[in-house]
Copies of this chain bind each other. A is one copy, B any other.
């Protein structure tokens, strides 16, 4: 069974342009061509494509993905290098997810900040008296709610039936 570039593009939800670009950058040395020079993807090629898509999602630059594919094409002498490569990017991805978790926490506290302001009709309930500056105690209050067992995912949600229109 073989697939045209368009069929592969559909399956992976990326454009044929992008696939050709990846090929140009050396990410697809494994794809065959038919006698007319058109790309013919094999079933087994999806194993590589899966890896490419994964590394892309992990934020690995295209050039580095190319290096990895090169290692794959070289054979068993590069098994350690390939392992190390994946190991490194696993660690980077774990670090990124930890950062994103902090980001999400922050977003949720700010959501709560606006939920409470919205319910009061004004942001000024969060200000230090007589200023336009946020009272640090407000963030502490939110932290306390979380420490007391509230789910930060829910705290910032507006109750039902609070739509503006």
Residues of A at the B interface (CB closer than 8 Å) are 43-44, 47, 50-51, 54, 57-58, 75-76, 79-80, 82-83, 86-87, 89-90, 93-94, 96-97, 99-101, 103-104, 106-108, 110-111, 114-115, 117-118, 121-124, 132-134, 156, 158, 164
Instruction: Report whether B54 and A164 are in contact in the complex, using a CB–CB cutoff of 8 Å.
Output: no
Docked complex Cα distance between A54 and B113 (Å): 15
Residues of B within 8 A of A44 (CB): 132-134
With a cutoff of 8 Å between Cβ atoms, the chain B residues found around residue A51 in the complex are: 110
Let me know if A164 and B80 touch, CB within 8 A: yes
Seed contacts A44-B132, A57-B99, A93-B104; 6 additional CB < 8 Å A-B pairs = A54-B110, A58-B103, A76-B123, A79-B122, A83-B114, A87-B111
7 tightest A-B CB contacts, nearest first: A83-B114, A44-B133, A57-B103, A86-B111, A54-B106, A76-B122, A79-B118
A107 CA to B124 CA, complexed, in Å: 47
Copies of this chain present in the complex amount to 2
Q: Can you list 7 A-B pairs with a CB-CB distance of less than 8 A?
A: A44-B133, A57-B100, A76-B121, A82-B114, A83-B115, A90-B104, A97-B100
